[in-house]
Amino acid sequence: MATKEACPKCQARGLDTSGDNLMNYGEGMGCYCFSCGYSVLSDERKEELGYDSYEYDDKEVMTKELITDEEVESIKGYTGVSGKGSRGVPDETYKAYACRFKYSEETSEVVEVFYPYTQDYKAAGYKVRKTPVKDFYSVGKIGKQSELFGQWKWKDSRSKYVLLCAGELDAMSAYTMLENYRTGKGSDFEPTPCVSSAIGESGSAKQVQLQYNWLNQFERVVVCYDNDEAGKKAVQTLVDVLPKGKMFVMNLSLKDANEYLVKGKEKLFLRAFFDAPAYSPSGIVASSTIYDEIVERSKQPKLPFPPMLKKLNKMLAGGINYGYIVNILAGSGSGKSSLVNQCTAYWMLECDEKVLVASLEAEAAEFGENLLSYQMGKKISMMQDQQEKIDFVGSEAAEQAARNLFTRPDGTPRIYLLDDRGDYSKLQSKIEEVVISCGVRIVIIDVISDVFSGMSIEQIDLWMAWEKKLVKQYNCILIQVAHTRKGGSSEKSASQGKALTEESIIGSGTQYRSAGINIALQRDKTAECDILRNTTVVHLLKSRATGVTGIACELFYCGASHTLWDKEGYEAANPHQF
């Protein structure tokens, strides 16, 4: 039966003095305020969205606003700071996390707990838990864009460990036990940050992913999720969003951290914390599940090359498999960067993929200019008159084209660029950071030969082992452009259109053996004939998925429009040029 209740959103603004704005449709049925539009999702809606006890969809969260100072003061007016021993957590801990409490007028017992959240380390709102029933609502803006619960407290922590829990109560329970241990020993070490997600276990990876940089400052990210099926499934979702090699998982004998605290099992909890093993997937697949794996593989999409390479797509049965390394090898000045840039624009605009480019030859402005030239069909670098170039680049048309090219409709970037040339010692960690925190699925290194220059064969092999692990773990594609070896004195060079093999690649044999696809570009840039000089032969040297190899097509480069075309199709459309 529906009942009228006080709306927390209205009351936080000093409204709903009669306490009847919120219509409660019954347990699990949800609530709605006809005055301000505040709502609590019904159990049916939560199940439909695949959310657990507290998890809103992005659209609902985005309609909320950050809490105001006036709202905070209003909440302080009808709440207190004592948790009265609620769930075994002492007031010292509740105060450390800046929690507040609403009390029953009849019994003075805690009826609501206010958990504070921040965004950009500024007050965002409160996630409110009704007690003793497990029901939630929010005041302000709470969601995956928020920092983790308690993160504000340890923004610049120098602790070696951080503990990631399933919920606020567990985070504070864990903190209580770890602090009792630390202070009991008289330790000078900093407290261990204990944090949790705002949106429940099942969706926590979405929020954790956005806090990659903060989590990466710690040596270990110890995960303490509930010891049940839901908790174990949620742990699996964290594998792809936590810093590589830093994820440790506690083996709990009780249900959660709060149960250890309530039952006085602090020593058992501490042992599980310090003994937490590094996460290591078994990688073992039982034969009974292989058919299911085959079915799932058939559903996986591929990344197609642009239309000018439709013949290559056919040889690859649709394009590049995710989880693959792709080598594109060619001689110097053979047009490999032009090809990769054109592919990059296609993948960003037509395939709606986020792309990371480690541009080791072209700086950001030059790289962007090349992409914009292709997008606008006019090679900017060929403009000899500087004022003409300034006017063209500064035009409204160029600005609009750049906005469409580099920015998604929601304002987020389409592409991320690493252009730190000369120091490659941190390149791997930078790539991992962007892949994990930004959801990038296509990584391009142009050119990988610069990275390998000066490396030993053993070091290159270790690098390739890292690449293989990266693409498999994050189901991404890594495309790398590679230079080729010089031929003998009696041989044609690669820049003269020499036929290339996989062994032509500079580096270690592990490089081409580790790849799922190897492609060679052959172009004679010294040819007297203008047509031949601007023709590139695309040769598929390896396709692990299909086994098909051979010449895929010829590409023709139109300098005026800075565009590569399928030569056969271009000739048919422009016979007067041939």
Query: What pLDDT, on the 0 to 100 scale, is given for residue 506?
Result: 85
Distances (CA, A) of 273 to 174, 266, 408, 474, 541: 9, 10, 42, 27, 50
Encoded tokens for 287: 């034969």
Residue among 188, 201, 312, 206 nearest 257 (CA)? 201
Domains 62-274 and 303-577 share a fold: no
The partner residues of 564 in beta bridges, in order of sequence, read: 557
Grade residue 500 by pLDDT with cuts at 50, 70 and 90.
confident
Higher pLDDT, 229 or 195: 195
The whole-number average pLDDT for the span 139-168 is 95
Query: What is the topology classification, in CATH, of domain 303-577?
Result: Rossmann fold (3.40.50)
Whether 497 shows a pLDDT value over 70: the answer reads no
Higher pLDDT, 222 or 20: 222
Grade residue 202 by pLDDT with cuts at 50, 70 and 90.
confident
Residue 445: CB atoms within 10 Å: 24
The whole-number average pLDDT for the span 243-270 is 94
Query: What pLDDT, on the 0 to 100 scale, is given for residue 45?
Result: 44
Alpha-helix runs per DSSP H in 476-562 = 509-514, 530-533
Handedness of CA 307, 308, 313, 314 (dihedral sign): positive
Q: What does the mean pLDDT of the chain come to? A: 87
Query: What pLDDT, on the 0 to 100 scale, is given for residue 35?
Result: 63
pLDDT, tens only, 381-440: 888 899 999 999 999 999 999 999 999 888 889 999 987 655 677 889 899 999 999 989
Query: What pLDDT, on the 0 to 100 scale, is given for residue 19?
Result: 78
pLDDT, tens only, 315-332: 999 999 999 999 999 887
Residue among 73, 72, 126 nearest 99 (CA)? 126
Query: What pLDDT, on the 0 to 100 scale, is given for residue 285?
Result: 61
Strand pairing report for 535-543 and 477-482 = unpaired
Question: What percentage of the chain carries pLDDT values higher than 90?
Answer: 59
Identity of the amino acid at 5: E
Whether 515 shows a pLDDT value over 70: the answer reads yes
Task: Please answer whether residues 373 and 562 qualify as being in contact, where contact means their C-beta atoms are separated by less than 8 angstroms.
Answer: yes
Q: Which long-range contacts (CB under 8 A, 24 or more apart) does 359-362 make?
A: 359/417, 359/418, 359/419, 359/446, 360/419, 360/421, 360/445, 360/446, 360/447, 360/450, 360/451, 361/337, 361/421, 361/446, 361/447, 361/450, 362/337, 362/419, 362/446
Residue among 433, 448, 447 nearest 511 (CA)? 448
Half-sphere exposure of 432 (CA within 13 A, CB side): 22
pLDDT, tens only, 258-311: 999 999 999 999 999 999 998 876 566 667 677 887 888 888 899 999 999 999
Distances (CA, A) of 185 to 151, 179, 192, 343, 537: 25, 10, 14, 60, 71
What CA–CA distance (Å, rounded) separates 57 from 206? 11
What CA–CA distance (Å, rounded) separates 20 from 124? 26
Query: What pLDDT, on the 0 to 100 scale, is given for residue 36?
Result: 62
CATH code linked to domain 62-274: 3.40.1360.10
Task: Please answer whether residues 434 and 440 qualify as being in contact, where contact means their C-beta atoms are separated by less than 8 angstroms.
Answer: yes
Grade residue 38 by pLDDT with cuts at 50, 70 and 90.
low
Whether 12 shows a pLDDT value over 70: the answer reads no
Q: Which residues make Cβ contacts (< 8 Å) with residue 195, sequence separation at least 6?
A: 148, 149, 150, 151, 154, 162, 163, 164, 165, 171
Residues in the chain: 578
E strand residue ranges, 258-394: 302-303, 320-321, 325-330, 355-359
Distances (CA, A) of 370 to 47, 331, 347, 477: 48, 20, 16, 22
The whole-number average pLDDT for the span 336-353 is 92
Question: What percentage of the chain carries pLDDT values higher than 70?
Answer: 88
Task: Please answer whether residues 84 and 111 qualify as being in contact, where contact means their C-beta atoms are separated by less than 8 angstroms.
Answer: no
Domain ranges within the chain, ordered by starting residue:
62-274, 303-577
pLDDT, tens only, 93-119: 999 999 999 999 899 999 999 999 999
Query: What is the side-by-side strand order in the sheet with 3-5?
Result: 3-5, 22-24, 31-33, 39-40
Whether 47 shows a pLDDT value over 50: the answer reads no
Whether 50 shows a pLDDT value over 50: the answer reads no
